[in-house]
Amino acid sequence: MLKKIRKFLMKRFGYISKKPIHEYFRLTDTPYFVIQRSILQSMPIKWQEGFVNYLNELDTATKNLEYMPSDYSVRAKINNKFTKDIYVDYGDGNSFINLNTGEVDNENL
């Protein structure tokens, strides 16, 4: 896995960063990273397994932090205007988004 990360960093930045998360966000003022659950569960199973493993590692690493909120509210914006998030419904785990077309496709689960 480390080889893949290094290859990605070399391709994206031309060097291996010691702060890959910071570099991913570049100069944005974004303090949070939000991904729709329906999009995550539409990724290949192997990818999902790796993502869940990293989330478990993060939970373990942050369990002793004094202030870790467990719930957030999120509102979608496009072009600085609030909008309806069409991918907000994760369908109790049964919603699949075709990542090529953006269409909801529950028949290919």
Q: What is the pLDDT of residues 3-29, one digit of tens each?
A: 776 677 666 666 666 777 777 777 677
Residue type, 100: N
Using alpha carbons, select from 40, 57, 39, 83 the residue that is nearest to residue 1.
57
Model-level pTM greater than 0.75? no
Q: Is 104 exposed, middle or buried (0-12, 13-18, 19+ CB in 10 A)?
A: middle
In sequence order, the 6+-apart residues with CB closer than 8 A to the CB of 74 are 34
- 43 confidence band (pLDDT: 50, 70, 90): very high
